[in-house]
Amino acid sequence: MTAMRIVVWVVEGTWEGCVDAAVEHFPADSEFALLHVTPSDVAEAADAASVGLFGRGFPGRRPNRRYDDIAADEGAELLAAAADRLGHADAELISRRGRVEREVVSAVAEGVDVLVVARDGDHSRLGPKSLAHATRFVVDHAPCAVMLVWPDETPGIDSIPPPKHGHPPEHEHPPKHERPPPPPHHRHEHL
């Protein structure tokens, strides 16, 4: 039997919960990979800002290379910290740059059994807003199983918002055996 291939998406602020979930829920002989994606739009925004401030003809070095270097260094530091916490010296470290959600989906397109992802939106309540846009895209498009974890304490079920249209929540309906019987159907009998 081949070992499971588990990819843990490493994102600043949530990666610890993902690594801990991977260690807790998957066999130690699994093949682990840690994935970090540096968003390409950070350097692009910095470059656009410099053009806006100094104009296109500004002589000298454009800042996007410097931001790329800084982002790459920070990504490498996150991967190293995640590898240390994971405790598997043979874990593959994957560093990518681009549109985050598409790079993550592409990274797990072949040979991956499970992608471990953290909720990165609103942590105060259960529900769809607990996923940011990129994470929602990954959960919806990953071609493998996805383990979705809370990076911190999970909110209680009482954090679910009330229904919008005035309908009582499902648990407020009386059980079927206590409901009145449906009205009789009128049958037309032919003589």
Written as tens digits, the pLDDT of the chain (191 aa) is 788 999 999 999 999 999 999 999 999 999 999 999 999 875 555 555 555 555 555 555 555 556 677 888 899 999 999 999 999 999 999 999 999 999 999 999 999 999 999 999 998 989 888 999 999 999 999 999 999 999 988 999 999 878 887 655 555 555 556 666 666 665 555 55
Q: Could you give the CA distance from residue 77 to residue 8 in angstroms, rounded to a whole number?
A: 15
Residue 42: C-alpha distances to residues 33, 100, 129, 135, 175 (Å): 25, 11, 24, 18, 54
Transcribe 110-141 into DSSP letters.
SS-SEEEEE--S-TTSSSGGGS-HHHHHHHHH
What is the number of other CB atoms lying within 10 angstroms of the CB of residue 24?
8
* CB-side neighbour CA atoms (13 Å) of 6: 27
Listed residue (77, 132, 130, 83) closest to 104, CA to CA: 132
- Give every CB contact of residue 12 below 8 A, 6+ residues apart in sequence: 74, 78
pLDDT of the residue at 63: 52
pLDDT of the residue at 72: 81
Q: How many helices (H) and strands (E) does the chain have?
A: 5, 5
Structure tokens at 12: 């600043």
Listed residue (8, 3, 29, 34) closest to 115, CA to CA: 8
Domain boundaries, the chain: 5-162
What CATH number matches the domain at 5-162, 3.40.50.10800, 3.40.50.300, 3.40.50.720, 3.40.50.620? 3.40.50.620
Instruction: Report pTM.
Output: 0.74
